[in-house]
Amino acid sequence: MSKDKDRAIVVKRAAPKKAGHHGGAWKLAYADFMTAMMAFFLLMWLLSSATTVQLRGIADYFNQPLKITLWGGDRSAEDSSILKGGGRDISTDQQGITRQSDGSMNRAERTAAHNDEDAVKQMQGELERQEQVRLHDLQIKLMAAIEANPVLRQFKQQIRIDSTLTGLRIEIVDSQKRPMFDTASDEVQPYMRDILREIGHTLNDVPNRIIVQGHTDAVQYAGGEKGYSNWELSADRANASRRELIAGGMDESKVMRVIGMASSQNLNKTDPLDPENRRISILVLNKKSEDAMMHDDSTTTTLSDDAAGSAQQPLLQQIAQPVTVAPKAPGVAPK
C-alpha cells in the first residue's frame, strides 16, 4: 500500500485538433462573381449608348446566324466574312445597304443634326422671350395710357390686364353703376367707347393678332334660349367692341376671331347674376397660340366619294352654312 501511495499520478490531456485549411476556393468564386458583375454593367452601358437601329441589327444577328450558315441565303448586311450574319447594317436604318465604313460618318451626321436641333430650340426660346417682353411692354403702356387720361382714369377699376398662357388678356368689366352697354343691347356707352378706342390705338404697337370675346350674366331673356338670347347678345357686343377698336386706329386685319360666350365663363362662379360677369375680353395672342388656331382653321375633312363617283362636299363647308338669327323677343330681361 505504501508503494501505491508514493507512485506519481500522471494526467494526459489531449490537445484539441486544429481545423484543416479550407483553401482559396471562395476567392475564386468571388473573383468570378465580380468579373460577371463587371461584364454585366459593361453590357448595360453599351446597350444604353447604342441607337435603336443598332440594337435591332444586333438582335437580328443573334436570331439568324445559324440559320443563314446551315441553309444559306443572303442578308442585307453582308461583308467578306465566311459566316454571313443576320440583320441589316447597323450603321444605317436603310434596307439593302452594305456596310462600307465604320460608321464614323453617320455619327458625324447625327452630331450635326443634334446641333441643328439645339440651335432651332434656342432660336425659338429667344423668339418667345422677345414676344413676352413685347407683351409686357404693351401691358405697361396700356396702364400708363389709362393713368394719363383723366377720362379713363376714373374707370381703371373696371379694366383688368393680366398675362395668360395664350398671351395678354385685357378685360373691361361691367358695373351696376357704370354699364358698358345699353340694357339688353349692343349700343356702346360713351365711356366704353373711349376705353376701346384707346386700347385699339395702343394694340398697333405689337404685331400679335387678337380675339374679342363677349360675356353676359346668367339673366335669361323672356323667350329663353330659343329666340334672341345671351348668345346672340354677347356676340353682338363683341362685334360692336371690334368696331370701336378699329375706329380707334387698330388695323382691322389684327382681329382673328369675334366670339360670343354668353354666361359660359363667369368671373364670379358663386353668383352667375353678378354684374361683373358682363364683360368684354380682348386676348392678344402669343405666336404659339396664334399658330395653333391657324392650324385648326386650315385643317379640313373631306368625305369619301359616293357610289356615283362624285366627291362629297368638304365637311367644314357643310357645317359653315349661313345661320339666320331670330329677331329680338319683345320681352327682355335687364342686362
Cβ neighbours of residue 97 closer than 8 Å, sequence gap 6 or more = 76, 88, 89
Supply 38's cell numbers: 463587371
Per-residue pLDDT at 211: 95
Per-residue pLDDT at 4: 62
| Structural domain containing residue 137 | 133-299
- Mean pLDDT confidence for 57-77: 60
Inside any domain, residue 262: yes
Inside any domain, residue 24: no
- Check which CATH number belongs to the domain holding 252 and give it: 3.30.1330.60
Q: Are 194 and 151 in contact (CB under 8 A)?
A: yes
Banded pLDDT at 126 (limits 50, 70, 90) = confident
- Mean pLDDT confidence for 270-275: 90
What is the C-alpha to C-alpha distance for residues 61 and 44, in angstroms, rounded to an integer? 18
Per-residue pLDDT at 100: 47
Q: Are 212 and 240 in contact (CB under 8 A)?
A: no
What is the C-alpha to C-alpha distance for residues 159 and 280, in angstroms, rounded to an integer? 10
Which spans in 75-177 are helix H?
104-148, 150-153
Inside any domain, residue 110: no
Q: Taking 50 as the threshold, does the pLDDT of residue 26 lie above it?
A: yes
Inside any domain, residue 212: yes
Q: Are 280 and 214 in contact (CB under 8 A)?
A: yes
Per-residue pLDDT at 67: 57
Q: How many CB atoms lie within 10 A of CB 139?
A: 17
6-10, 193-197, 267-271, 293-297: segment of lowest average pLDDT? 6-10
pLDDT cut 70: percent of the chain above it? 67
Per-residue pLDDT at 240: 95
Inside any domain, residue 6: no
Q: Which among 12-16, 165-169, 257-261 has the top mean pLDDT? A: 257-261
Task: Tell me the pLDDT tens digit for each residue of 185-234.
Answer: 899 999 899 999 988 988 888 888 999 999 999 888 877 777 889 999 99
Residue from 218, 234, 278, 287 nearest 256 by CA = 287
Per-residue pLDDT at 283: 93
What is the C-alpha to C-alpha distance for residues 246 and 87, in angstroms, rounded to an integer? 66
- Mean pLDDT confidence for 116-129: 77
Banded pLDDT at 22 (limits 50, 70, 90) = low
Beta bridge partner(s), residue 257: 211
Instruction: Tell me whether residue 62 is exposed, middle or buried, using C-beta atoms within 10 angstroms of its C-beta: 0 to 12, 13 to 18, 19 or more.
Output: exposed
Number of folded domains that form the chain: 1
Q: Taking 70 as the threshold, does the pLDDT of residue 81 lie above it?
A: no
The angle formed by the CA atoms of residues 222, 225 and 231, to the nearest 5 degrees, is 110
Supply 208's cell numbers: 400679335
Q: Taking 90 as the threshold, does the pLDDT of residue 281 lie above it?
A: yes
Residue from 120, 79, 121 nearest 102 by CA = 79
Better-scored residue on pLDDT, 74 or 317: 74
Q: How many CB atoms lie within 10 A of CB 161?
A: 17
61-65, 182-186, 224-228: segment of lowest average pLDDT? 61-65
The angle formed by the CA atoms of residues 86, 89 and 93, to the nearest 5 degrees, is 120
Per-residue pLDDT at 125: 76
What is the C-alpha to C-alpha distance for residues 143 and 140, in angstroms, rounded to an integer? 5
Per-residue pLDDT at 250: 93
- Average pLDDT value for the chain: 76
